[in-house]
Each structure stands twice: as structure tokens, then as C-alpha cells.
Amino acid sequence: MPGQPTMFDSHAVITGEDQLEGYFEPGSKPRGRWGVGLEYERFGVLTDSGDPVPYDGPRSVSAILATLVGDHGWEPSEEDGHLLGARRGGTRITLEPGGQMELSGAVHRRLDTLAAELQDYLAVVEEVSRPMGVAWVGIGMQPLTALERLPWIPKKRYAIMREYLPTRGRRGTTMMKQTACIQANVDYADGADAMAKMRAAMGLSPVVTALFAHSPLTEGKPNGLMSARAWAWRDTDPDRCGLLPFAFRDDAGFGDYLDWALDVPLFFVIREGEYLPGGGVTFRRFIRDGFRGHTPTIDDFELHLTTLFPEVRLKRYIEMRGADSGDPASAVALAALWKGLLYDPGAMGAAWDLVREWDFDVRNAFLDAVCHMGRLAPLPQPVPGGASVAGDLFDAIVGLARRGLEAQGAPGESAFLDPLAGRDRVTPAERLLTDWTGALGRDPRRLIAALSRNTLAGAPGATVPTGG
């Protein structure tokens, strides 16, 4: 942002809360520079046994990363000698706590280039993983292996999280090791636009969770949920997770998110490579009183923002976090859905109108119901058109997203929404439950094969159309 003061340089010391008041403004972009980013997590499993892929060894996550680095030109990301990720251009691979591999994609103006990046990632990971007998499955909950048998990735921040989160909720460890999601990231024009997008996205998040529900199995058995992933987040840490009440106010602004972030306890502070547990100290108190002799910097604040996990998260862009992982076509469909809904004012306004009248308590109750019932979760209050359950809104929001893409001059991109067609009748979780007891015969190897699609080609409706 032209003229931005140097107070936001990463090493700048924060001496007062007022220094952060304009922190989110530099994320503002003119419409012509808006893009979409995709983050896509999957679980690694050994195809011969169904066991989770370990971190170390000849058939391991670290071996796959090392091959990407050594044979395919990716740049390594290491911590204390542990290979924990890789980068090639704007595409990054990172590891989640239980060994989940995550694509963190570049920013794309068009969905066809986003899909091409995803396809390139899928192809190279498949090429490296197949000779090791490793498959990557897209699903919201690790479906076969008990929590205690899943690996821990040797990353310092995860070591602190695994100690801290069980003091705040009952399912923090489950969230860390046993869940996987798809996330879409979008830009904003200014503070008012950012909060309008956050409000609409957070209001629609439970419906999107139902639409993408895909985690009904745990340890090879039905777990009684449609989105066990979302249910794990519901009891992880009330300080930093869930829906944010201020986001639904018409006058909400950047300052409201900042105030909330300042009052969330620190996970840790990093000094000279050492991670210092936060011990319940909020960032606001860190600014006022220091922490173990240290004064906060912009780096510390930016790190703190990455440890906040609301359903919709603000950085210098907006992250929608409410969807279970699925096949690659579903990942691109999520990006198309949010681009269509949030980048066209008419589509965004009409989508927000569907859920505008609900109060905060019923929004939370609805999200709880969605975790258990998916598309059959009762809507908390009547909505236009007489809809009564979550699934009744699926066609409406997908239709609005199509309209929004067309209004943006990219009607061809609406083909990326095709995998969502018909989900008012059956969601991925319901289809998986039917297949598990039917066509898959409760066979782990068949399940792995069914969930490890590694290409967009051949998925229903998931061709790679051009952007407009």
C-alpha cells in the first residue's frame, strides 16, 4: 500500500496497541488484483496395510519430500534438521500435525490456472508416492486408524499445541492429528468490503460445512456424524475457534477483529529459534507488560494471527475454513463457490439474505446440528422460499455462485461447480456411508482406492474450463 509506515516492518517493536490499528489495511486491493487461493489437505496411507504413513523411514512423508527436493527441483523447508515442507514457485507443501500433507497454492485470478496448479501438484506427488506404496486420501476425518496410532510431525509449534489445547477442550488432539480440510482464500477492497465478506462467509459457513460434509467414518466404523472434522473443531479451544459474534454486526470493522485477536492467549513466542510457551498470556498483555523479558514485534503478531482458527479468518486476506477435505474436484469447487459468492455484490447480498435474520445462539446451534445431521440439519428460522433443512439451501447458494461467476465475466468457470450439483439429495458423507457397507464391502483397500483420486480428469463435471 503506497505510503504505508515502516511500523509494519516485520521486526518493528510494538510499544502500544494503537500501532496495530491499521494492520489489515495493506491487504486492501483494487478489484482488478483480486485472486483466489486454495489449500488442500489429505491423509497419507500405506496401500498394502492401510496404516498411516510415518514421518520417517523409507516409506514416509519425509522420504516423499526428500524425493521432491532431490529429483523434482522443489526447495526444502526445514526445522532443526527435519524436512517439514517444500516449495516450487508459488506452490508450497506443508505438513499438518498428524502427517497430513497440505497444498498451499498460489494466488490465481482465474480458476483454470488454479486447477492446473492443483493438477500439477497431484501428478508430482502421485509420481513420487506410488513407488513407495503410498496413497493420499481426501476425506475430512482419518477413516481407518485410531488417534493414538497416528504419527506426530516433529514441528516445534505442534509440540506446544499438543500440550496446550487439551487444557482448553476435549477434541484438540483429534483436530490436530485426525482431521483434514479444504480452504479457499479471497481478497478485499477495503475494511467495509472485508467485513461484508466475512459476515456473509461466516453466516454461510454452516451451510457450506453441510454441503461438503465428508467425515462419517472413524477407525473403520460409522461415527454418528456427517462432519466429524467440524465437530472436533467445536471443542478444541473456545478462545480461538468457531463463529465470531462481532462479525455479524453491520458496523463491524477491522478494529473488532483486532480487539478479538489481542485478547486470545498466545500459543508461543519465538526467540532465537526457541519456542516459549505462552502460558495463557494474551497478546494485549504481551504488549502492555512484555513476556519473559521480551517485547512484541510485528513478526510476533503475524505469527499469533496464524494460531487463530475461527470459521472465517482474517489476515491480509480472508480464509474460509469450513469444508471437509474431499476429492480434487471438490477442492476446486470450493474455490469456485466462494469466488462466485463473494466477488459479486449481488450474489453476496442475496446469499447473506438467506441467513441474515438468525441470531448468534441459533447460528451456533445450527452448526452443531450440521456436524451430526449434515444436509438434514433443521434451519433455525424460516428463510425465503420455505426451506426447512440445510440441504434446501444447497441449490440456492450454488446457483448464486454460478450467477456471480457469470457477472464477473467468467461464465465458463461455473463448470467447476458441477461436482456440487445434486448434493441436496446426497452429500459425500452419505454416499461414503452407503458405499462403505455396500460396494466397498468394508474393505480398507477399496476405501483407500475410492478416496485417493489424483486427477481432476474424469471427475463428474470437473473438466478444466477456461476462465471466461
pLDDT for residue 7 = 64
* 57 burial via Cβ count (<10 Å: 0-12, 13-18, 19+): exposed
Specify whether the CB–CB gap between 455 and 251 falls below 8 A. Answer: no
Cell of 292: 519473559
Q: What is the pTM of this model?
A: 0.95
Cα–Cα distance, 322 to 343 (Å, whole number): 18
pLDDT tens by residue, 148-202: 999 999 999 999 999 999 999 999 999 999 999 999 999 999 999 999 999 999 9
pLDDT tens by residue, 106-115: 999 999 999 9
Average pLDDT, the chain: 94
The DSSP string of 18-37 is: GGGTTTTGGGB--GGG--EE
Please check the confidence at residue 138 and state whether its pLDDT lies above 50. yes
- Reference 137, options 100, 105, 104; nearest CA is 100
Cα–Cα distance, 396 to 323 (Å, whole number): 18
Q: C-alpha distances in angstroms, 90 versus 103, 108, 121, 333?
A: 11, 10, 12, 21
pLDDT tens by residue, 1-51: 333 445 688 889 999 999 999 999 999 999 999 999 999 999 999 999 999
What DSSP designation does 88 have? E
**Domain 10-451 CATH class label:** alpha beta
Cα–Cα distance, 116 to 333 (Å, whole number): 14
pLDDT tens by residue, 316-326: 999 999 999 99
- Reference 410, options 468, 455, 367, 339; nearest CA is 468
Q: How confident is the model at residue 386 (pLDDT cuts 50, 70, 90)?
A: confident
pLDDT for residue 454 = 85
Q: How confident is the model at residue 449 (pLDDT cuts 50, 70, 90)?
A: very high
Q: Which residues pair with 182 in a beta bridge?
A: 40, 323
Region 121-146: what's the mean pLDDT?
98
